[in-house]
Amino acid sequence: MKVIVLGSGVIGTSVAYYLAKSGHEVEVIDRQAGPALETSFANAGEVSPGYSSPWAGPGVPFKAIKWLMMRHSPLVISPMLDPAMWRWGLSMLANCTEKAYAINKSRMVPIAEYSRDCMVALRAETGIAYDDRAQGTLQLFRTQAQLDGIAKDVEVLKDYKVPFEVLDRAGFVKVEPALKLTQEKFVGALRLPGDETGDCFKFTNRLAEMAEALGVKFRYNTSIDGIEVSGGKVTGVRTSAGTLTADHYVTALGSFTPQLLKPIGIHIPVYPVKGYSITVPITDAQFAPESTIMDETHKVAVTRLGDRIRVGGTAELAGFDMTLREGRRETLTHVRTDLFPKGSDTSKTEFWCGLRPMTPDGTPIIGATPYANMMLATGHGTLGWTMAAGTARVIDDLISGRKPQISLEGLSMDRYAGSWRR
């Protein structure tokens, strides 16, 4: 069966690889000159199934007001008259209840955990290397109230048998020795030992090479202009290279997915939430993190990538604006120096931003559409790489006529049931 995959980010490339492994003829279309040149390029570097939680949760509206008043705020809202943004925001607020949070997290954790298992198997099968480490995530709390507030998350982790540790200062310094210099700023930590780190750009490019070796054709520098449909099926994709056809289609275009699907009557609540990162070279490893540290106050992750430190965070609602704002660089730099004041060369800082494709409930959209031969793989938010391998396996199973190994309840676009119109 011939399959066209739209998008060569970490999701699209992973889908292409697994489809090719199953014997399908696969073609990937992307407007960029190579794989992972947009949102997958310089993310925080986390593969964090244990940290799979929706942004919408109890107390978030009140926290948001507090965040907006912080100098180094984890949330930035640009004033703009974008009905889609405000509708998405209101829908997210509607998910800020205990009941909705529990439902949404229960949908996210299984796909994230399954994806982690798929990643482990992929690494064992292929030997793929990408500055990877498997030393867990450490979530740091600056106040006792933050530490006390993890009770609900801990219950979900227990329910899904996700390993975790609650650590005092001595405990988290043992895991991350470089925090010895700044330990007094924190009261404790939650450690998720099953989480991993690495360079998503390197991973995606090497997986693309493996996919090409299996026969996948990557058609780069090709714009996707529209989808043609007839009789309840997709009949082709209009591109700058002409109309391309296949037996089946997978849309994995991240934040740009709704724009493509709206003309054919598919309305999904995926909105771009802009994130930023800085990358700095390590000059002295003893003062660098061993894995990933998450600063709960600023919602910023600091990750070890080989001989570099990647600092990623900020949720900015600004539509598709890709302006690099100096205030965001200052926030990321502040967190890095506050946690790890030594051991890196700030004069060689690389500054980047990307658009995370977020749903208001935090759960990705994976699976069938009203068109019999088109699948969706989008809306993964900050967890695209975390969920990529599992998402790809699910899509491959569905197209190949196999029953997926996990339940897909609550993952498809059906959960919106006509309630969303852009």
DSSP of 24-40: -EEEEE-SSSSTT-STT
Tens digits of residue pLDDT in 268-310: 999 999 999 999 999 999 999 999 999 999 999 999 999 999 9
- Tell the residue number behind the tokens 């407007």, with chain if given: 31
- Name the CA dihedral angle for 361, 365, 368, 369, rounded to a multiple of 10 degrees: 70
Domains of the chain, start order: 59-80+131-195+271-358 (3.30.9.10)
- Give the span between the Cα atoms of 372 and 72, in whole angstroms: 47
- Give the span between the Cα atoms of 93 and 112, in whole angstroms: 24
- pLDDT of residue 122 exceeding 80, the answer is yes
Integer distance in angstroms from the first to the last C-alpha of the chain? 33
SS3 110: helix
Average pLDDT over residues 343-349: 93
Tens digits of residue pLDDT in 382-422: 999 999 999 999 999 999 999 999 999 999 999 997 655 54
Tens digits of residue pLDDT in 5-60: 999 999 999 999 999 999 999 999 999 999 999 999 999 999 999 888 898 988 88
In contact, 335 and 295? CB cutoff 8 Å = yes
- Give the span between the Cα atoms of 142 and 15, in whole angstroms: 39
Residue 239: what residue type?
A: T
Q: What is the DSSP string of 203-231?
A: HHHHHHHHHHHTTPEEE-S--EEEEEEET
- Residues paired with 229 in a beta bridge: 234
- Residues paired with 230 in a beta bridge: 233
In contact, 254 and 38? CB cutoff 8 Å = yes
In contact, 58 and 67? CB cutoff 8 Å = no
Tally DSSP H helices, then E strands, for the chain.
Answer: 11, 20
Least confident of 79-93, 94-108, 274-288, 395-409: 79-93
In contact, 267 and 414? CB cutoff 8 Å = no
SS3 357: strand
In contact, 308 and 202? CB cutoff 8 Å = no
